[in-house]
Structures are given as C-alpha cells and as structure tokens.
Chains A and B, each alone.
Chain A
C-alpha cells in the first residue's frame, strides 16, 4: 500500500511537471518530448489503476503513433524557429483555467462517491474483450469506431494530397 502511494505521487508530480513543460517551453520540439514523457507517465498511472490493457494501448497509440505524427508535423512545418508564443489573451486564459480548476476541485471534494470495496478484475484484458465483443456489449460502437478511423484516414490523405 505504501509503495502504491509513493509511486502515485512520483507519477502525479512527473506528469504535472511534464504537462507544465509542454505549455511553458519555448522550443516546440522539446515541448513535444515533454508531451511524450507525460504520455508515458500516464501509462504508469493506468497500471496503478489496474488497467493494464489501457496502459499498453496508451504506450502503443500515444507514445508510438500520435507523438510520431506530432513530431512529423513539427519537422514538416518550419514554424519552430518562432518558438511557442502566447497570444494577447494569456492572462484571461490563466484566469479562466484557474477558475475552472477551482470549480472542479470544489465539485470533486464535495461529492460523496459510492466507493465500491471490490477488487479489480484480474486479468482485465479478457474481461475487456468480453465487454467489447461479447453479446449485449459494445460491438456496434466498436464497428463505428473502425468506420471513424477509416473516414479520418481518408480525410487526412485527401487534405494533404497535392491536386494536380
């Protein structure tokens, strides 16, 4: 139990610091590297929540695919010598963000959650597959998600294609 607390605090602090680096670093490429660190640490948080499948998928998709896409976009656009400037709404944005955080923290700490004492499902992957593909489960949303990915890929190809 104490190990779980220690690892939670380490992961939480590292993820918040990495996210702060993403919004504060002036070098866009370093901000992308901080973003990858943030994704990796969040995978660790999923493991703490005994969601191993989610952790592995997080590493595969976020650390593997999305970060590569973002770094590719940074390389393809020569914008990064301009750094990561803020617009003139910086102070109002900070204010809105802090007010939002206050409201959410108030809501979270003042709600009595019905915590279930049951342990997590082990192993989680089989149960998750049953949920996703089994009868009465989420098979229709899974198919729709596949269709959405197909549409996104076709849309991305059409957007970046050169019209001759």
Chain B
C-alpha cells in the first residue's frame, strides 16, 4: 500500500490530538508548553504534506511551515520566560495554583 496524503494527515491529526489532551489535562506548565510544541509540529506535518501532494511546484505549504517554526520559537522563548517569572514570584508552576486572574 503506497503512502499517500491521507496517511500524513491522519498522523498529523493523531499527534495534534495527543498534544490537545496534554494541554487540557496537565498541571505542570512546562509539560503544557511541550504539548503546545507537539501540536505545532503536527500542523507543520500537515502543511508539508499538502505542499508535497496538492501543489508540489508551489512550495506554499513549506513556506507557511517555516513561518510557523519562527512563531513557535518566539512562543517558546516568551513562554519559558513567563514560567520562570511566575516560578520566581510564586515558587510554583502548577497551573491549578496560578489562579490569580480567575474569578
């Protein structure tokens, strides 16, 4: 059975689902950040697969994947900075205990 677009899209969906479950259910803020990275990677796989199978000559999907990568790097830097600031102020990064802005 040859590998087609659907295989890559299903792999991407499975990875995105695992990341979504982790983001929703984990309490450690660093684990949540890691799961967001998994989700971004899953989207990138879908982008590269569309680029390869739908418009092989255009490369638009790969260009978008590169921009997603840039945004992911910026997000990781700012996210880790926020986590470290919260840890310094409150001595915890448990997402259930960081509820200052909850009503």
Q: Assuming A49-B52, A116-B53, is B71 touching A28 (CB within 8 A)?
A: no
Number of A-B contacts (CB under 8 A): 243
Task: Kindly list chain B residues whose C-beta atoms are within 8 Å of the C-beta of A70.
Answer: 30, 33-34, 37, 76, 80
Interface string of B63-74 (1 = CB under 8 A from A): 101110111111
- Secondary structure at chain A's binding surface: helix, strand, loop or mixed? helix
Size class of the contact patch on chain A? 35 or more
Interface residues in B54-99 by Cβ distance below 8 A to A read: 54-57, 59-60, 62-63, 65-67, 69-78, 80-85, 87, 92-96
- CB <8 Å contact, B17 and A66: no
- CB <8 Å contact, B30 and A5: no
Task: Please provide the 8 A-B residue pairs with the shortest distance between their CB atoms, ordered closest to farther.
Answer: A152-B74, A93-B24, A156-B81, A159-B81, A97-B21, A93-B25, A23-B22, A101-B17
**A interface, CB within 8 angstroms of B:** 1, 4-5, 8, 12, 15-16, 19-20, 22-23, 28, 31-32, 35, 38-39, 42, 45-46, 48-51, 53-54, 57-58, 61-62, 65-66, 69-70, 72-74, 76-77, 79, 82-87, 89-90, 92-94, 96-98, 100-101, 104-105, 108-109, 113-116, 118-121, 124, 127-128, 131-132, 138, 141, 145, 148-149, 151-153, 155-157, 159-160
